[in-house]
Each structure stands twice: as structure tokens, then as C-alpha cells.
Structure 1
């Protein structure tokens, strides 16, 4: 059961997060529709314990105690561990092998994997590195990173053909990325390994940065037969994991 005072404290933190100049008790009360008398008691208690600070104009801002707590949380943060339940669920639901990858020096590094015995063997193992231009995970990064970051990575690419389906040049890749951005996920259609079809989605953190991607891979014929299911489950998992990492989509 939700505790009203705890919820109010959390709403105050969230409001002050987006208010760099601080807010008065009146400002906070009006924006959150709280009674000023009860709000000031919360603000004073939070300030006394270091979670807020108040300036000479009685404007409240986030306090130093939150910095230390955030540093501890960051030091314990392990995206691989947090993603594992999602990968397991996807593997069991889709019946295919699932991966988590991050971007490192212009390449994809696989940091988690949930293997399905039904799928074809793949040489993508935890710790291995793969190109960004011909893997689902890599194309997800190129599609959903800020445009300038994606452009910088693409400028350093050296296109090598792994199969007859491997994308050959920047122009062909740009056309793919434009489509991927519209649909919300990226595809590797037998570009890194023959017969292997992969779908990947982005994962964001609380700073609205793309920090990882998750993918599912399997034999093309089997994957195409259930593409709608795969896309739906992968998009849902990517959004839910992102929310767990603190991401909140900005309203336009």
C-alpha cells in the first residue's frame, strides 16, 4: 500500500530535478497541488537531513546527500545483471537466443547472453566484439544514438563483407537506418553470419542516453514466421528495461 507522505517526497524530488534555480514552498505546493502547511514540513525535514538545501530566498534545491547516494547507486549499477531477467524472459517467450551489447570504441561488445538450444550456433559470445554496421545490436546504436554520434562512428567505418548480404557502403547503410528509426528496431538479415536473422532494440538510461541494446537471433525462416511477435516483445522489453534504468520519455 502506498504511503502518501513518501509519495509526496518522491514527487518533490522529481519536481526539483527539473528546476535548476530552485522553488519556494508556494511554488512546489501550487505545482503539485499540495497544502502549503504540510509541504513546508516535508521541505524542512528534507533540508535538515541534507536531502534539500534552501537559499536566502527560501528556494529549495536538491541537496548534497543525494549526490552521495547517487554515487553509491552508480557504483553498484550493473546493466548486465539488470538485463538478465529480461533476456531470460525473451529467450523463453521467443524460443531464440538473446543478447545484450554495449558500444566500445566503435564496435559492439557482447556482455550478456541467454542461449536457446533450438537456435543455430553463433560465434557471438560474451566478451566478443563485432562491427556495428552488420549486426543488429550495432545497427540499433547507429539508428538511435544522437545523429552526430552516429555520423562520427560511420565516418570511421571500414566495410568488410562477411556474407553476400553484408551492407557494402554508407549510402546503403543510411537507407537502412532511416527505416529502422521509423519502426523502432534494427535488423541484421544474414549480414554477419549466413542464415542468421536478428532484431535489436535500444536501451536508455535516466539521462536519456542510449547505453545498450538487446537482440534476439535465430534461423531466418523461423524468425520471419514470428516477426510480429518478436518485434512486439523486444520493443516492450527495451522500454521496460529503460524505465528500470531511470528513463522517462519526454512528452512532445
Structure 2
């Protein structure tokens, strides 16, 4: 049985994680449908404990106390330890940004990022969440997870337009996912961030269950010039990490 105040506090932290530009008390209360008095008291406690911070414009953000907690959580994941050297090798081979992510309910959560010297700016960072239907990593989960699980997720996800390239037609998306499953990797062609092209591949565990996904992302023109090289290195890396997690 959940404790209402604890659940509300966690909902506030999740909400602030999605709104990195900050939110007011009213914003938070409205989005979570909470009374303003309850929102104020929860934020007051979270602020005093360092889990949220407030700027001069009265906007709330995630606080500095969450940083060591997030770092400890990442380090406690076996996959993070196993994958780290392979992700670094992949980044050096393709000279583009490398990511690794896991699924959290119906969203993607980034658990690792390796920046190359020429990495471009992106909103994706370890700990951040993104939709699964319009990212290369997310579409990898949809393409390789069991059909019933995929349908369950797509049944309650709203396919919102984020860029001009975002696919919002479910039948078109499912057709694409079938192709991705056959070819062994997924593509995000400027569907979540304009100018960003991403290739992603699945990682499996010892039970042959889909565990995580790894990706390479960069400017579209640069990525297309070395697409085949990226795909080869990406799939090799996913296989090495899978093997490290016991997949045969």
C-alpha cells in the first residue's frame, strides 16, 4: 500500500526531471492535480532536504542531493560496469556520442553517455527520460520486446508530434518496427531532435530478455557518411555487452 505523501513527492521529482527549465508551485500543482497547499508543503520539505532547489524567479528544479544518489544507482547496475569499456571503445571507433538506456515503465531512461570530441549538444543525459516511440533507443525496445508488451505500451501512449519527422501514425510506426526487428537495429531520423540522427541496437541478458539498448547519435550528414561503419561497430558492441551479461 503506497503512502500518499511519499507518492506525491516522488511524482514531483519525476515531473521536474521532465521539465529541466523549471516549474512554479502552480505549474507543479496543476500538472499533478494537487492542492496548492499540499504542493507548497511537499516542495518546502524537498527543498529543505536538498532534493529540489529554487531560483530567484521562484522556479523549482531538481536539487544537488540527487546527484550522488543517481551516480550510486548507476554504479550499482551490473550492466553499467560491464558496458562502460565497450561504450568507450565504440565512441572512439565512430567518434560520435554513444548512449545506453533502459526502459522505465513506458519511457526511456538514459543510464550512460560517452561524449566524443565533436559531440553535438543534445537534451539526452544520464538520468533523463524520453519517449520510446520517437527515439532510436526507444524504438529498439518496441521492436524487440514481446508483441503483447509492445501492444500494451502503444495502446496507452499518445504519439505526439515533436519534430517534423516524428511518426504519429501507429500503423506506420509498427511497420517500421517490423523492419527494425529484421535488420537488427533501429533508426531515429530527426524524430526527437532536429538535426540528430541516431542508430540503436538491443542488449539481451542471460535469460534472453531485452535488457537495454545502445546507440550512436550525431549530425545527420556526418552519420550518413559512415552509416555502415557505425552499424557494424554498434551491433558488435551490443553483442559484446550482451555476452558480458550472460547472453549466449
Query: CA, structure 1 residues 118+246, in 2 after alignment: closer, same or farther (shift >3 Å)?
Result: same
1:138 maps to 138
Residue 133 of structure 2: SS of its match in structure 1? Answer: coil
1:115-194 superposed matches below 5 A: 115-194=115-194
Give the whole-Å Cα distance in 2 for the aligned partners of 1:77 and 1:85. 15
Partner of 2:101: 101
TM-score (norm 1): 0.67
Distance 1:197 1:165 in 2: 11
In the alignment, the residues of structure 1 paired with residue 143 and residue 208 of structure 2 have an alpha-carbon distance, to the nearest angstrom, of 15
Give the corresponding residue for 2:15: none
Larger Rg: 1
Q: 4+ residue runs of structure 1 moved beyond 2 angstroms?
A: none
In the alignment, the residues of structure 1 paired with residue 214 and residue 99 of structure 2 have an alpha-carbon distance, to the nearest angstrom, of: 6
CA distance in 2, matches of 1:246, 1:113: 23
Q: Tell me the TM-score normalised to structure 2 length.
A: 0.68
**What is the match of residue 234 of structure 1?**
234
Q: How many residues align?
A: 173
Q: Which ranges of structure 1 fall in alignment gaps of 5 or more residues?
A: 1-75
Give the structure 1 partner of residue 243 of structure 2. 243
Partners of 1:135 and 1:218 lie apart in 2 by: 13
Whole-Å separation in 2 of the counterparts to 1:188 and 1:116: 19
Q: Secondary structure at the match of 1:83?
A: helix
- Name the CA distance, whole Å, in 1 between partners of 2:156 and 2:247: 29
Stretches of structure 2 lacking an aligned partner (at least 5 in a row): 1-75
Relative to structure 2, which stretch is displaced further, 147-156 or 229-238? Answer: 147-156
Q: Deviations over 1:49-93 (max 9, x none)?
A: xxxxxxxxxxxxxxxxxxxxxxxxxxx752112111111111100
Aligned pairs (5 A) from 1:43-62: none
- Cα distance between partner residues in 1 of 2:214 and 2:205: 14
**Partner SS for 2:87:** helix
* Equivalence for 2:197: 197
Q: CA RMSD in A?
A: 1.0
1:93-122 CA distance string (max 9 Å, x none)? 000000010000110000110011312210
Give the secondary-structure state (helix, strand or coil) at the position aligned to 2:101.
strand
User: 1: CA distance between counterparts of 2:172 and 2:80?
Assistant: 32
Distance (Å, rounded) in 1 between the aligned partners of 2:157 and 2:77: 31
SS in 1 for 2:116: coil
Question: Are positions 1:92 and 2:72 aligned together?
Answer: no
* SS of 2:198 mapped into structure 1: strand
Match of 2:78 in 1: 78
